[in-house]
Amino acid sequence: MKARFRPGETVAVRAAYPPGHIRTPYYVRGKRGVIERICGEFANPEELAFGRDGLPKRALYRVRFRQRQVWPDYAGAGEDTVDVEIFEHWLEPAAGEGAG
Amino acid sequence: MSEHSHGDRHDHARTFQPDHDSGGPLPYLQVMEIATRELLIEKGIITPGEVSRQIERMDARGHSRGARVVARAWTDRQYKSRLLANGRAGCDELGITDLEALHLVVVENTEKVHNVIVCTLCSCYPKPLLGLPPAWYKSLPYRRRMVREPRAVLKEFGVELPEDVVVRVHDSTADMRYLVLPRRPEGTAGWSEERLAGIVSRDCLIGVALPLVGKS
């Protein structure tokens, strides 16, 4: 499997809003996080939802976000995180600190 | 022109599952399910008894397998490492079959980290290990609030965590399913796996409760 990103890399989620069956939650679009792990490759749900085969498979990652980056008024501890599964075509390389 | 106007072009309904008990008319797919089921019965392809038995089988599938996995991990350090590295292989090792297409990530609670599971988009849940999800897991308030204010929600469940314990929320958005490996409580030294499994409740495995000794 060719995965574009490695664990520990900082990435940004595309701030895109296409119609359809999108598994990237709104609350992390445009946010930066760090690759927690590569989950493997899976058929693309955006295609499967319309009865197509979803091929070629896409790399799926778990991306870790700092809660305070996701919700500027987050009330919990600064180290708290939320991990979200995101397909590769929703991720872009990003500089700097993400979830750490 | 606004680049992102919350308007007609967004079809939230396609991805976003409405609240579990929002009432109102039956959704399209549910109507289709009933129609298809009635046709299959009418044509003699399946019987109402078969449908009931399958529903009963799914309802009966509780969290005991998830609890077994935890009890083994508590008693066998090497098993725990293998389980954390590959959740599915850890289940296979215990002879837990019928896992369907489960891709399992096991997340470990420690002195410094507390994990909790949610599915904000719908209600993804490791059914082969935990059975059917409770209604609250599928409810909008849980799904909305667990990512937004997890400490407040955990407190409502009775889990109050000090500030120096990191809360890690896992949003089950795609193909992975999650199981929380709770911390083994004090006062359980020398317990058998079976006895240990008895204090691992379903809610412990979701991350909204902690195993308690003397309450099982």
Average pLDDT over residues A24-36: 97
* ipTM (interface predicted TM): 0.95
If we measure between CA atoms, which residue out of B71, B190, B171, B184 comes closest to residue B123? B171
Average pLDDT over residues B3-24: 56
For the cut 60, the answer to whether the pLDDT of residue B4 exceeds it is: no
Domains and CATH numbers, chain B: 61-206 (3.90.330.10)
Q: What is the 3-state secondary structure (H, E, C) of B127-151?
A: HHHHCCCCHHHHCHHHHHHHHHCHH
A20:B105 CB<8 A: no
To the nearest whole Å, the CA of A98 is away from the closest chain B CA by 15
To the nearest whole Å, the CA of A99 is away from the closest chain B CA by 11
CB-CB neighbors (< 8 A) of A20 in chain B: 11, 14-15
For the cut 50, the answer to whether the pLDDT of residue B5 exceeds it is: no
For the cut 70, the answer to whether the pLDDT of residue A86 exceeds it is: yes
End-to-end C-alpha distance for chain B, whole angstroms: 60
State residue A73's pLDDT score: 94
State residue B77's pLDDT score: 97
Return the sign of the alpha-carbon dihedral for residues B54, B57, B60, B65.
negative
For the cut 60, the answer to whether the pLDDT of residue A99 exceeds it is: no
State residue A1's pLDDT score: 64
pTM of the model: 0.87
The band of B106, judged by pLDDT with boundaries at 50, 70 and 90, is very high
State residue A98's pLDDT score: 53
For B31-46, write each residue's pLDDT tens digit.
999 999 999 999 999 9
Residue B145 φ then ψ, to 5°: -85, -25
Average pLDDT over residues B39-63: 92
Bond before A56 cis per omega within 30 degrees: yes
Domains and CATH numbers, chain A: 10-93 (2.30.30.50)
For the cut 60, the answer to whether the pLDDT of residue A64 exceeds it is: yes
